[in-house]
Homo-oligomer: A and B are copies of this chain.
Amino acid sequence: MARPPSNGNTATRILDVAERLVQTRGFNAFSYADIAAALKVTKASLHYHFPTKADLGLQLIERYERNFLKVLGQIDGANLGDAEKLRRYVDIYSGVLRANRMCLCGMLAAEFATLPKSSQSALRHFFDANERWLAAVLDHGRADGAFQFNGASACVAQSVVATLEGALMLARSYGDAARFETGATRLLADLQAGRARVGLSRATGAVNG
């Protein structure tokens, strides 16, 4: 989900910088002045494209969700097994971490109580969409024998998102990507427990999915 330095129009470049600032610092810890400095334009110019910070926040989330869903669509179109689909989903988060960022919506979830109402709704919409996609993969995979888990796939999907967001957040605080990978790999292994735990032996390294 890391974005190359955009050559697009001004609104797009503003969103690119703002996105990076939210993902690294949070919505409450950056200002129009930060964006203006990065783009070498004035603050007034930014307000022409995004009159209020609430407007900017909403459009950030909506664009982030569109991009996210586009990637999920690519995964769906790649003719992969369900375990591999899930691994690809996890890889999205790995990429975010490699860019030294927090997930945009994970960051905003922490700041939830201080966000404009419009951002709050958009945020839930993002997570709902993620969990719907995950639940479908989980259901299909369970029917197929690729996954084993108890209970509703929707609940497992919630757990998956929560685990990845938490692991991302903690790994970033430690500047330690391995911290994320071990957690993510364990998550995948637990879902494929029927296969990965055949021996139930002690393993010293990470469990491969």
List A residues at the B interface (Cβ < 8 Å). 24-26, 28-29, 102, 106-107, 109-114, 120, 123-124, 127, 148, 150-152, 155-156, 158-159, 161-167, 169-174, 179, 182-183, 186-187, 189-190, 193-194, 197, 200-207
Residues of B near A124 (CB, < 8 A) are 173-174
Residues of B near A190 (CB, < 8 A) are 190, 193
Residues of B near A202 (CB, < 8 A) are 150
Contact in complex: A110, B113 (CB < 8 Å): no
A28→B114 CA distance, assembly (Å): 10
Contact in complex: B114, A204 (CB < 8 Å): no
A171→B179 CA distance, assembly (Å): 23
Which of A112, A179, A197, A206: most chain B Cβ within 10 A?
A112
The count of identical subunits is 2
Contact in complex: A113, B179 (CB < 8 Å): no
Contact partner of A29 (CB less than 8 A), chosen from B28, B109, B167, B194, is B28
Asked whether A169 and B173 contact (CB < 8 A) given A148-B200, A189-B150, A204-B152, the answer is: no
Residues of B near A207 (CB, < 8 A) are 150-151
User: A185: shortest Cβ distance to chain B, in Å?
Assistant: 9
Contact partner of A158 (CB less than 8 A), chosen from B161, B182, B189, is B182
The residue of chain B having its C-beta at the shortest distance from the C-beta of A205 within the complex is B151
Contact in complex: A155, B167 (CB < 8 Å): no
15 inter-chain pairs at a CB distance below 8 angstroms, sorted by A residue, are A24-B113, A25-B113, A26-B26, A106-B166, A109-B172, A113-B172, A123-B173, A127-B173, A148-B200, A150-B207, A151-B186, A161-B166, A163-B167, A193-B197, A194-B200
